[in-house]
Structure 1
Amino acid sequence: MIVVLLNVYLVILFLLVRLKVISFNLFWKCSPFLVLLLLLIGLFIPMGWGAPSGPALLGRYSVAIVPDVAGEVIDVPVQPNTPLKAGDVLFRIDPTPFQAQVGALEAQLTFARLRLDQMSQLQRNDAGRAFDVQQRESEVKQLESQLEGAKWNLDKTTVRAPADGYVTNLALRKGARVTNLPLSPVMAFIDTSSTILGVEVQQIAARYIKPGQEVEIAFKFLPGRILAGKVETVLQAVASGQTQASGQAVSALLTAPTPFIVRVKFDDDAAGRSLPAGSAGTAAIFTERVAASHLIRKVLLRQEAILNYVLPF
């Protein structure tokens, strides 16, 4: 952009000299270098913190689906990459052993309640002990708790979508045996109820960024288009700033100014949901500083959006 502005100045200077409006003396011969210096110091260098830009990446939360009970899969009605609503069935586990457990506990509970009634009747007739009644009451409460847990297990044989989203890279099939171990997820569920848009901003340019400032993003997935948003927050930590407990003394670290991450919220939520997770692009943040540079940054961003038609990187 600075080359374009300098070339415009040179054209204007050439026309003024050609039309003999000005004389081409030493000052006007040196003027292009002065204009270049003014553009750098007065506009393009301050644009780095007045309208900073950086790479943007769209992400979504991924939920590793691990069933709460183990068993054989008898049905997988879900289709990969198909929109789902919260509560839709992902797959079903054979409920037979869990139904049998519920039936056994219900029978035991019925018998225990009958024995409790009998013991209570004997106590009221002064033919039984209070201890026997209390023991039967304890048995009934234990069986009720076990039955509640067994019904919960039976309900968990139907695994449902935890939120709005879709299943991707689906390999689970009928007949597979699944476990409830946290290290053995059976499918990946992508939550589309919320969208995460992060922008990397160099530390030198991040000092004036605040929530609520306007943001424009040009995505590779949408060449020629500019999406608008607002700064939601500037994340207060990056990995290089973490300190973890260890048994070692402090050691020297290779310190580097790692970019900060700015989280952005789309003005149009539907536009954000339409983008695939992993969509990359470039974002520009417009602060209250150096307002004259905002127009230059917008032009540069739109140039990049047009170049996205032909440039894959």
Structure 2
Amino acid sequence: MFVAVGIVVAYIVFVWLVFFRFRLLKFNIVWGIVGFWVGVHLLLIFLIALRFFQPYSMDSHVIRPTIQLVPRLPQPTLLEEVLVTANQQVKAGDVMYQFDKTVYEANLETNRAKLVEAQQNAKILEINVDQANDALDEAVANQTYAQEEVKRYSDLVPKGGARQETLDKWTQQLAAADAQVAEAKANVTKAELARDAKIDGVNAQVVAAEADLSKSQYYLDQTTIRAPEDGMIVTQQARPGLVVGNRRIAALAVLVADADPYLLATFYQEHLKFVEPGQEVEVALDIFPGQIFKGEVESVWWGTGQGQIKPSGNVPTFRFPKLQGRIAVQIKVTDPSLKRFPAGAHGAVAIYTGLGKGFEPLRRINIRLYSWANFLFPLSF
């Protein structure tokens, strides 16, 4: 900065010496215009240095995370109680809305009964396997007996010790016994398949019943809406008697979270050449005229809407000239003296990159003038 001031002072002294002290040249309108034009360009040194080394923005707003409070209920449900009001501060876990539980409690009991039934059916499947094995043993015994009789009569008939009709009868009974054994084996297989239909060692019907029970418990819990975190309720319009359900898409209210607020300021792209996270920031909020708060750069949002082409069936069109998109810088206010940080609050921001330190006083004066001007502007009574 001292070099720039020296150049400007030297130029002023040079003009004074040439035109007024020694009168080497006659000062006229032409020389006045030339001198003024050169002087203005010398003053651009200060403008360029401030823009790049201490970027400044009057387009900054406080951003606070918000949560849309939307009921997650599968069918039309009556709102019975509203336990919060607009602009009310709530703590995480506080009950805010209570819906009618009747249908959801009935669904829970129904699914609990189905779970018990499924668990009993799983035990019955074990018994069915035992019964199928017993039936198979009986069929095998009958088959063995029929085989022995067929063999015995096959030896007696040729010798005249038994009649052919008796052998034919036992042959038919053996065929029936074979069919009975095949059927019994199939029944054992079916019983074992039904018993072994498991997921991670648990019967599939029991798993399905447990899932239905968990779902019914989930929806029963959703009849009570609690604050997900500390914050403030805004735009609260719900009243008892309101019916919500699977077709409602609007939120009951908005919770403005207390945690993780930040300031978002936009800058022209060329001003961010030397901006990096962790650099010092001064903030002047309009709601606190005459005060300056300390902060630091958290991150630079390296992207604008102009850098995005959304998928569509249309060929992109480009028009020139088009104004450049401004880049956003996320700023964390670390000053403990800041007691109130309302969402949407407007202010000015100055970033100190650590370069060109000689020019910093000018920027610090600049942002303080903005802050004190908030006592007067806007001019309204």
TM-score bracket for this pair, using the shorter chain length = 0.7 to 0.9
Residues 166-193 of structure 1 show CA distances to partners (whole Å, capped at 9, x for unaligned) of: 1101110111111244732221221221
1:80 equivalent among 66, 86, 100? 86
Farther off after superposition, 47-56 or 248-257? 248-257
Farther off after superposition, 180-189 or 292-301? 180-189
Counterparts of 1:287 and 1:84, CA distance in 2: 39
Is 1:214 the counterpart of 2:280? The answer is yes
Q: 1:309 to 1:139 in 2, by over 3 A?
A: same
- Partner of 1:66 in structure 2? 70
1:263 equivalent among 316, 324, 330? 330
Is 1:242 the counterpart of 2:308? The answer is yes
Is 1:154 the counterpart of 2:154? The answer is no
Larger Rg: 2
| Residue pair 1:57, 1:278 contacting (<8 A) in 2 also | yes
Residues 249-278 of structure 1 show CA distances to partners (whole Å, capped at 9, x for unaligned) of: 34222421222111111113783x722111
Q: 1:148 to 1:198 in 2, by over 3 A?
A: same
Shift of 1:220: 0.5
Q: Which amino acid aligns with 2:346?
A: A
Q: Which amino acid aligns with 2:365?
A: V
Q: Which amino acid aligns with 2:83?
A: P
| Residue pair 1:224, 1:305 contacting (<8 A) in 2 also | yes
Is 1:47 the counterpart of 2:53? The answer is no
- Partner of 1:111 in structure 2? 117
| Residue pair 1:235, 1:263 contacting (<8 A) in 2 also | yes
Q: 1:45 to 1:118 in 2, by over 3 A?
A: closer
| Residue pair 1:197, 1:263 contacting (<8 A) in 2 also | yes
Counterparts of 2:42 and 2:371, CA distance in 1: 24
The sequence identity of aligned pairs, in percent, is 25
Aligned Cα root-mean-square deviation (Å): 3.0
Pairing of 1:187-206 with structure 2 (within 5 A) = 187-206=253-272
What 5-or-longer segments of structure 2 have no aligned partner? Answer: 136-190
Residues 188-242 of structure 1 show CA distances to partners (whole Å, capped at 9, x for unaligned) of: 2212211131111112312111111111011111111101111111111111221
Counterparts of 1:26 and 1:283, CA distance in 2: 47
Counterparts of 1:94 and 1:236, CA distance in 2: 48
1:285 equivalent among 351, 363, 371? 351
Q: TM-score, with normalisation over the residues of structure 1?
A: 0.82
Q: TM-score, with normalisation over the residues of structure 2?
A: 0.69
Quick check: which one's helix share is greater? 2
Give the number of equivalent residue pairs.
Answer: 292
1:194 match: secondary structure = coil
Shift of 1:36: 5.1
Counterparts of 2:22 and 2:55, CA distance in 1: 39
1:141 match: secondary structure = helix
| Residue pair 1:220, 1:312 contacting (<8 A) in 2 also | no
Counterparts of 1:184 and 1:38, CA distance in 2: 57
Shift of 1:42: 3.2
